[in-house]
Amino acid sequence: MYAALTRTTSILSKQGKSNDCNNKTFDLWLLLDAPSGGSYVVEKIHRTILKFTNAKMVANTPSIVEQLISSEYDIIGDAQEPVELDNLRPFIEHLVAISSITNFVGPEFTKDEDLVETYKYLARDIAIELGDGNMLLEAFPSLSRLRMWYLGKYGNAVRKHRTNLIRLIAPIVDERLAAAENGKEDKASISGDFIQCIIDETKLTSGDPEKYMLVAKWLLAVVVVGNQSTRDNVTVILYRILQHPEVIDELLQEQRQVLEKHRGADVNDNDDLTALFTGKVIKNLVKLDSVCRETMRLRSFYLDYPHAYIGKSPFTFTNGYTIQPGHEVLLNLWGNHQDASVQRDGLGDYHQFKPFRFVGLDRPSTKIGEDFLIFGLGTHACPGRWFAMHQAKIIISMLLRRYQITPQDAIVFHEGNRNHLPSGKVTIQKKQ
């Protein structure tokens, strides 16, 4: 049985535990050959991501900006003349990969082609091996899980990317562990480093035979759950802005106002972007943040986030609806995002894109609730959403500031449940 629930906050209410529901036919940890438990506890990874984000997100911004500037050339060259792109997605995919590598692994690794490939294509390669939905596997979840276990342990996709990652991180892990055990650890230089966060959280030692594998699997988990969704969201946001070009001038004006606030009225537009686009500047772009939240609110997600109730007794929601053990629940994202009684801005017209709907309200793009379900709810809500949105706003701000991006045909926002991404050919040219 599938229950499409319009009001969803009670799914994680005090009547039940947050882990009483899961997805019977998909298990990320099996796919990564990292069985849940021990070093692969979701709460541990959540905690480590939050610790890292709090420590380094703002501080890493100039380095991310620097690497993005150099990596744009990989796809569009110097763009002194218009460059035609059939779709923005591959370009955005590259930029998201570069910014994620810079933040989580280090800017010096953005030139490693194998690592860039992992950040861009890991989720895609796993999806290709998994294939489309299979009715037999849906009917027998144990078969589905057995298949995921096999693909995680022996499949080509995970093995290839895991091997690439271990080659890269093994010398780093060895150096860190040896320095710590010899009392020569440089706390200042590695403070907030994500690999170090993993080492600290899992209490790795040099004698641990799984030390490389453990760090690699943690990093792969972050790539799988973060990069594809960030790439998709940035792609959708940029296409929505191009569909409403009048928004661009307002966003550029906001950039100017925020830069003047932080650097004074004589700020020079030709200054080094790594000096202009600091973490604090990006966080102050509230109009852009509203555009991001509004765009994601309108994304074509309908019935999604399937969870199976694994409790031992019937569970009754606050709206009176009861589900039985083993039943599955789908969340009605579209219903909540269109429902005037759920939304909190009071502007109405929830089928329409109103870019600045959330300006002046306490509804930033990272704030979850029954009115905004993109990042989930409760204790298992996406812990990386702060960096994901920070990353999105850096990329979009840089592109709007430095390039003229012009649609060459109609931008199409697909409404089907299987295709969530818009499409449309564009040209991109460096502003003079």
* Annotated binding-site positions for heme: 382
User: Could you give the CA distance from residue 311 to residue 323 in angstroms, rounded to a whole number?
Assistant: 10
- Torsion of the alpha carbons at 95, 100, 102 and 103, rounded to the nearest 10: 140
Pairing between β-strand 328-332 and β-strand 2-5 as defined by DSSP bridges: parallel
182 and 162 in contact (C-beta within 8 Å)?
no
Q: At what angle do helices 89-104 and 113-130 cross, to 10 degrees?
A: 120
The DSSP output letter for 108 is G
In order, the DSSP letters of 154-206 are H-HHHHHHHHHHHHHHHHHHHHHHHHHHTT---HHHHTT-HHHHHHHHHT--T
Q: Is 313 within 8 Å of 20 (Cβ atoms)?
A: no
Token duo for residue 26: 């998909």
Contacts of 325 (CB under 8 A, 6+ apart): 309, 310, 311, 312, 313, 314
Question: Which H helix or E strand runs over 307?
Answer: strand 303-309
Tell me how far apart the alpha carbons of residues 369 and 206 are, in angstroms, rounded to a whole number: 43
Task: Write the Ramachandran bin of 192: left for phi over 0, alpha for psi from -120 to 50, otherwise beta.
Answer: left
Q: Which residues of 396-417 are buried (b: 16+ CB within 10 A; e: fewer)?
A: bbbbbbebebeeeeebebeeee
Indicate the annotated binding residues.
382
Q: Quick one: tokens of 409?
A: 């045909």
- Beta strands across the sheet bearing 21-22: 2-5, 328-332, 303-309, 21-22
What are the C-alpha distances in Å from 170 to residues 54, 113, 139, 162, 315? 26, 17, 41, 12, 47
Which SS3 state, helix, strand or coil, does residue 221 take? helix
CB of 244 within 8 A of CB of 406? no
Sign of CA dihedral 326, 43, 299, 340: positive
